[in-house]
Structure 1
């Protein structure tokens, strides 16, 4: 049984949307991460049901992948809430540069939003009547952050640590360093006194040592053969797109490789360009096996079921 302070409420979402963490005290109500744009109305409904008549005062984004900030715009339109983002992303958000924000690279969407403040590692925040330290968590995303409450022994880990792994190491797809940074973040987490981890995806968990052991094993496995990271990234992005749009033809998937640079880089790490159509059919076939998230009907790929 996971026990959290009374001021913390976790909305565990489906795979397409990140978890949302609501922290409420007498002074304010803050939401950590807002899910994907497709599910923004659901995020709004969850927050409204939890807050009743009081407003949402603040949004804090651990990083700006579209599944973590896709609900920002709708929530801001309803409550005019303050919004804090990682400081290195400020210029890209201000100019709404979808290339630098990775939405074009990953074939994803995010409605334009504004921000009122920025976060950097070392800052201290008071949320839900608890004191939190902002920690850097590069690896999955160079600018990603975590929040750690020493008194409550709670870590909001975003995509740096899940119960069974961590997020795709995207920088490595473009030839930038990411494995070493992910290793360092795991080593940092291992130094913290953590009783409960609230991950970006999946249920909160308390067996932190076991999760770290699995994560250290996985990063070693990926570093031994970077093609493994590329294959995982391409499969994740295919599933993400299908969970969003529900149905795509194989021809459309192949065309996406030219438009989405992260997908193209992952495919290029695996096969020559002439073999990309066959590669996509192979990966989709793997994702359609058994109870996999996809199903194939001729030249059309479907997501099996909607997730929130």
Structure 2
């Protein structure tokens, strides 16, 4: 399911151009931002298992998938790049990404792409255009500045236009939160990198944040303050950082697999490094105990449902 949100219904005063489309996607997929013009651009392409839905979105924007000229990825994770392969085949669009994450794509390094740590699938593609901090992407009437914002990923970027003042934040800033930080993979300084990235963004005049997950954020400063407060808590209490990461990854794992028997799901996730390695380093309890704790908590919150000992996601 997806929803195209008209940015001019958000009560922000100054009107946004009508050629930008914010596409709110389901929890497993990144949102998409489509800019119609010269060039025709999509920012992030969601997960590969949703590629048919991704292709269908273009008709609501007065386009066809083969009209696409450029794909810009905020980082190289599979829930943001899963549609790259198919859309590039359909359109011949060039793919742009920050040089750090592009390096692992063009080597097809599954560790660098976080595929061997997780449970993702990702059709192979390559990056054509290498982005660096300070580059300008002209998608009229927008001139987006590329801002390198490491933390969630080493090559994470956000895009900012100084005329209309939207921040396309990827997973650097979500609504009062941020994309999970994999210090086990990105290094011990990743949380500090993310904090520095958000502090840098806090200096910009921002009217609207368009994140990669969740709806538009119309109170940017409060959201940024909440993110910084949360990061400082995770820095001081690493066990909370471990839970922050595993909970988000766990829901993805269940969504990808669909309904599964509880014991089979445990057998599956307990063999994936994102689960057992993060637990060993940060949480440090028995894997089965951690699994049961997370499942029972999600059932109580109404995120998971247990039907005859079979688990599925109902409200991520």
Q: What TM-score do you get using the length of structure 2 for normalisation? A: 0.89
Measured after TM superposition, the shift of residue 94 of structure 1 is 2.1
Measured after TM superposition, the shift of residue 22 of structure 1 is 0.5
* Aligned mates of 1:223, 1:204 — CA distance in 2: 27
* Aligned mates of 2:259, 2:269 — CA distance in 1: 17
Measured after TM superposition, the shift of residue 291 of structure 1 is 2.2
1:45 pairs with 2:18: no
Gaps of 5+ in 1: none
1:288 pairs with 2:299: yes
Counterparts in 2 of 1:173 and 1:299: CA distance versus 1, 3 Å = farther
- Decide whether the 8 Å contact of 1:173 with 1:262 is kept in 2: no
Match of 2:106 in 1: 94
SS state at 2:172 partner: coil
Counterparts in 2 of 1:91 and 1:178: CA distance versus 1, 3 Å = closer
Could you list the per-position Cα deviations for residues 102-160 of structure 1 after superposition, in whole angstroms to 9, with x for gaps in the alignment?
Answer: 02212111111222111111111101431111001111111100001011111100011
Match of 1:188 in 2: 200
SS state at 1:104 partner: coil
Measured after TM superposition, the shift of residue 84 of structure 1 is 0.7
Aligned pairs, number: 302
Matches within 5 A, 1:50-61: 50-53=61-64, 55-61=67-73
* Aligned mates of 1:80, 1:172 — CA distance in 2: 36
SS state at 1:289 partner: helix
Measured after TM superposition, the shift of residue 204 of structure 1 is 1.2
* Aligned mates of 1:211, 1:60 — CA distance in 2: 24
1:202 pairs with 2:208: no
RMSD, aligned CA: 1.9
1:36 pairs with 2:30: no
Point out which structure has higher relative CO (alpha carbons under 8 A, 6+ apart): 1
Measured after TM superposition, the shift of residue 216 of structure 1 is 1.4
* Aligned mates of 2:186, 2:261 — CA distance in 1: 27
SS state at 1:6 partner: coil
1:266 pairs with 2:278: yes
Match of 2:3 in 1: none
* Aligned mates of 1:271, 1:174 — CA distance in 2: 20
Match of 2:77 in 1: 65
Counterparts in 2 of 1:49 and 1:64: CA distance versus 1, 3 Å = same
Measured after TM superposition, the shift of residue 252 of structure 1 is 3.8
Q: What TM-score do you get using the length of structure 1 for normalisation? A: 0.91
Matches within 5 A, 1:1-16: 1-2=9-10, 3-16=15-28
Gaps of 5+ in 2: 1-8
Q: Among residues 107, 115, 121, which one is paired with 1:103 in the alignment? A: 115
SS state at 2:175 partner: coil
- Decide whether the 8 Å contact of 2:82 with 2:122 is kept in 1: yes
1:241 pairs with 2:253: yes
Q: Among residues 300, 303, 311, which one is paired with 1:301 in the alignment? A: 311
